[in-house]
Amino acid sequence: MDMGYMQFLLYILGAVLLGALIVLVCKLVYSVNKINSILDSIENKMKTVDKAFGAVDRFVDSISVVTDRVVDGVASGISKIFSHKKKKNRIKNELEEER
């Protein structure tokens, strides 16, 4: 085989490889553009859903504050009842000790 023939064959194979790479890069750019449009669509939809979640979060937080206050009120009421009984018992014990 002649060196000219091998060189010619390498040039042909290089041109085919370059052409294939150009086609693959074009397809890759097309795919990336398509994925970007899909992601933009999803991002817009998520912004809408995010507003709804924000409203629900604020509502749940307000309910939580109200229930915390109710529980604190009930707990303080119960503690006052028991502390009042303890005071009465102490007073009775002090009176009995004085006698």
Residue 26 CA to residue 20 CA, distance in Å, equals 10
* Domain range annotation of the chain: 3-7+10-99
Residue range 16-73, pLDDT digits in tens: 999 999 999 999 999 999 999 999 999 998 988 888 888 899 999 999 999 999 999 9
Q: Band of the pLDDT at 98, cuts 50, 70, 90?
A: low
In degrees, rounded to 5, the angle at the alpha carbon of residue 97 between the alpha carbons of residues 92 and 98 is 100
Q: Band of the pLDDT at 82, cuts 50, 70, 90?
A: confident
Q: Is the pTM of this model over 0.85?
A: no
In degrees, rounded to 5, the angle at the alpha carbon of residue 64 between the alpha carbons of residues 62 and 65 is 65
From 5, 25, 29, 6, select the one nearest 17 (Cα to Cα).
Answer: 25
**3-state DSSP assignment of residue 99:** coil
> Which residue pairs, CB below 8 angstroms and at least 24 apart, start in 16-23?
none
- Which residue in this structure is represented by tokens 């303080």? 76
